[in-house]
Amino acid sequence: MHTRTGLSVAQGAALSVGAVLGTGLISLPALATEAAGPASLLAWLALIILSAPLAWTFAALGARHPDAGGVSTYARMAFGPHIAAAVGWCFYFAVPLGAPVAAAFTGGYVADVVGGGRTTEFGTFLAIVATAYAMNWFGLRISGRVQLVLSAALATLLVVTVIAALPHARWANLTPFAPHGWSSVGAAAAILVWGFAGWEALSSLSPEYRNPRRDVPRATLVAVGVVGVLYLAVAAVSVLALGPALAGSRAPLADLLAIGLGGPVRAITAVVAVVLTLGAVNAYFAGGSRLGASLAAEGALPARVFGGQRRSMTFILAASVVAALLPLGLHTAALLVTGCFTLVYVLGTAAAVRLLPGARARVVAAVAFVAVVALLALNGAPALLSLGIAAAAMLYWTWRSRRIPLSTASPSSINSGSTAPNPSTSPCGTGASPPA
């Protein structure tokens, strides 16, 4: 009896949830509340609603054009190699920008237990990136199955946190609802993009399904529903149970568990946060090093600096340390990374408007395009970095192609670093996703 191989709907949904459900959620509720107060719940709801057309658009692209190159492949098909290079650069340089932010999220939990404040947070960052660098240097990769286990552990932690803290929810904590004005909801939404990065992994996974045209939309629907319920539940309970104390908290999940369960939950949560972040940063380094080497091989980055995975990874490590030492603040640093993610989504949805057949498909892609353009605008001044990276990529590609004839590139040669069927190896697919 012949058994069809490939991803089932359940497996694809699990991988998609793992790609989006990132470690950023351990701190995002506090950052969003700091920006908008209880009105940040509207930003969470808006991002969840946006996830539907965005995820559907990438799933539709993957179902029609199955290719592991993901967004870069579609950018190349729609607009040419210059835009494909811009996508690659945005993904690649988001890795060293995002690693310090992801580690800072976890550093807050470690400092909450052992003390030491910023010094402890920076030490946690150095320990995590050094371990990830060493693991990748010697070829010790965390498998896709382990990455899924880590994502499942995070989901379990979130469910337990919500259940434990729910009896302490108070409606009075919703007032004042918008202490910083209604415009602050947009500022919160720009930060929350961090937690929703990873939907582009759906397109890279599409070739792995048993029946892409039938199963990709189904898996996407399940993934959007699971992620939406988890995110909104955690955000709502955080606001209702912690109230004003949530804004500025460095360890909101630990705070929620402490009021719900008591005992040594802060230490346990810190350990879980470290393990999850190490898995995510390891994936950033693994995917980023391959991406940088691929870009250098095709002439989209200088080979002397980025040629080969070890050179590429060394650059990521050095740039991560430099980024961590910059006096940016966690809020600004997170916006710099989400700006890169958002610009990739702008380019990907724009490509979808050109590539997808049928009026209905193009309308959905257009809705997603308009939404992510609005998010890029809400990102504010930090979005200029992503635009600068994209412009530099196109200028370098133009200069390089005129100076030295480039080899003919395959559609997926300049890609987002995704390696199906494991979206966790994508710099953006860790939920920190990119660093998703």
What's the pLDDT band for 215 if we cut at 50, 70, 90? confident
Question: Does the pLDDT of residue 347 top 70, yes or no?
Answer: yes
Question: Does the pLDDT of residue 429 top 50, yes or no?
Answer: no
Please give the Cα distance from 227 to 320 (Å, whole number).
29
Could you say which of 3.40.1350.10, 2.60.40.420, 3.20.20.140, 1.20.1740.10 is the CATH number of the domain covering 9-425? Answer: 1.20.1740.10
Which pLDDT score is estimated for 60?
A: 85
Closest C-alpha among 352, 374, 372, 355 to residue 364:
352
- Phi then psi for residue 429, to 5 deg, are -90, 10
CB atoms under 10 Å from CB of 46, counted, come to 18
Please give the Cα distance from 250 to 264 (Å, whole number).
17
Question: Does the pLDDT of residue 336 top 90, yes or no?
Answer: yes
Task: Answer yes or no: are the C-beta atoms of 171 and 402 closer than 8 Å.
Answer: no
Please give the Cα distance from 397 to 76 (Å, whole number).
13
What's the pLDDT band for 427 if we cut at 50, 70, 90? very low
Please give the Cα distance from 44 to 434 (Å, whole number).
18
Could you say which DSSP state residue 52 is in?
H
Task: Report which of residues 167 and 206 the model is more confident about.
Answer: 167
The token pair at 201 is: 């992994």
Average pLDDT of the chain? Answer: 83
Question: Does the pLDDT of residue 50 top 50, yes or no?
Answer: yes
Look-up of token digits 């190490």: 278
Per-residue exposure over 355-390, b if at least 16 CB sit within 10 Å of its own CB, e if not: bbeeeebbebbbbbbebbbbbbebbeebbebbeebb
Which residues are registered as beta bridge partners of 419?
422
CB atoms under 10 Å from CB of 334, counted, come to 29
Please give the Cα distance from 15 to 148 (Å, whole number).
7
Which pLDDT score is estimated for 436?
A: 52
Question: Does the pLDDT of residue 406 top 60, yes or no?
Answer: no
Please give the Cα distance from 220 to 163 (Å, whole number).
26
What's the pLDDT band for 68 if we cut at 50, 70, 90? low
What's the pLDDT band for 316 if we cut at 50, 70, 90? very high
Question: Does the pLDDT of residue 241 top 80, yes or no?
Answer: yes
pLDDT tens track for 354-403? 999 888 889 999 999 999 999 999 999 999 999 999 999 999 998 988 87
Which pLDDT score is estimated for 430?
A: 35
User: Residue 80 contacts by C-beta under 8 Å, 6 or more apart in sequence?
Assistant: none
The token pair at 215 is: 């199963």
Please give the Cα distance from 168 to 66 (Å, whole number).
47
What does the domain layout of the chain look like in residue ranges? Answer: 9-425
Task: Answer yes or no: are the C-beta atoms of 21 and 154 closer than 8 Å.
Answer: yes
Closest C-alpha among 125, 205, 164 to residue 424:
205
Which pLDDT score is estimated for 174?
A: 93
Please give the Cα distance from 357 to 102 (Å, whole number).
38
The whole-number average pLDDT for the span 55-62 is 86
By CB atoms closer than 10 A (0-12, 13-18, 19+), residue 294 is buried
What's the pLDDT band for 417 if we cut at 50, 70, 90? very low
